[in-house]
């Protein structure tokens, strides 16, 4: 999408250095991001296939008004095919723009855990993991050891509605 503004009440802008994803859990069934790619195919020439957009990495540097920025509303930053170096570049931009607050939400808590020790988590990140059932809830408890100031769980029940925002 060319517009960065959003109707999501808990954020001001979206920033999508990657788009596209693969479904990994029941909560992906009615993926909002996938639906948008189908509704606006001209905006997403690769459809819902995971795509890196390095040309978008510096966008937040040009946004001078302090904002809450939802990172990857159209993807999942911790998808297995997003290289560690690319995630580090995203974090570098976040470090460089302390006047913004970044909201990162992932369903890939296992990869997040695997990479945690290799990432320098910025202070201006709210990091969220989607939780769909008790088993997942228990598996993310160990994230308390991730060195990030703001960590939250998103409890999802999305079987019959568009949902996800990952």
Q: How far is the CB of 98 from ligand SF4 (least distance, A)?
A: 27
Nearer to ligand SF4, 49 or 61 (CB): 49
Our CB check for ligand SF4 shows the closer of 59 and 154 to be 154
Which residues in this chain contact ligand SF4 in the complex, by CB under 6 A? 21, 23-24, 28, 31, 33-34, 75-76, 107, 164, 166
- Closest CB 75 distance from ligand SF4, rounded Å: 6
Query: DSSP per residue over 18-67, as a string?
Result: EEB----SGGGTTBHHHHHHHH-GGG-TTTTS-EE-GGGTTHHHH--S--
How far is residue 50's CA from residue 66's CA, in Å, rounded to a whole number? 29
- Nearest distance from residue 79's CB to ligand SF4, in Å? 7
**Burial 70-102, CB ≥16 within 10 A → b, else e:** bbbbbbbbbbeebeeebbebbbebbeebeebbb
For ligand SF4, the closer CB: 49 or 138:
49
For residue 24, the minimal CB distance to ligand SF4 (Å) is 6
Residue number with CB closer to ligand SF4 (31 or 131):
31
Query: Within 10 Å of residue 105's Cβ, how many Cβ atoms?
Result: 21
| 153: β partners | 129
Give the CA distances from residue 103 to residues 10, 99, 134, in Å, rounded to whole numbers and listed in that order: 9, 13, 23
Smallest distance from the beta carbon of 11 to ligand SF4, in angstroms? Answer: 16
């Amino acid at each position: 999408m060319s517009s960065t503004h959003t109707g999501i009440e808990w954020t001001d802008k979206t920033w999508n250095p990657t788009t596209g994803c693969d479904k990994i859990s029941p909560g992906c069934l009615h993926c909002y991001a996938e639906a948008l790619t189908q509704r606006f195919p001209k905006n997403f020439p690769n459809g819902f296939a995971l795509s890196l957009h390095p040309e978008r990495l510096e966008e937040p540097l040009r946004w001078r008004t302090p904002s809450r920025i939802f990172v990857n509303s159209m993807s999942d930053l911790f998808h297995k095919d997003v290289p560690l170096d690319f995630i580090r570049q995203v974090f570098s931009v976040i470090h460089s723009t302390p006047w913004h607050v970044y909201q990162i939400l992932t369903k890939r808590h296992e990869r997040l855990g695997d990479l945690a020790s290799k990432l320098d988590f910025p202070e201006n990140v709210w990091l969220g993991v989607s939780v769909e059932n008790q088993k997942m809830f228990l598996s993310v408890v160990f994230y308390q050891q991730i060195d990030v100031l703001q960590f939250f769980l998103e409890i999802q029940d999305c079987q019959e509605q568009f949902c996800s925002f990952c």
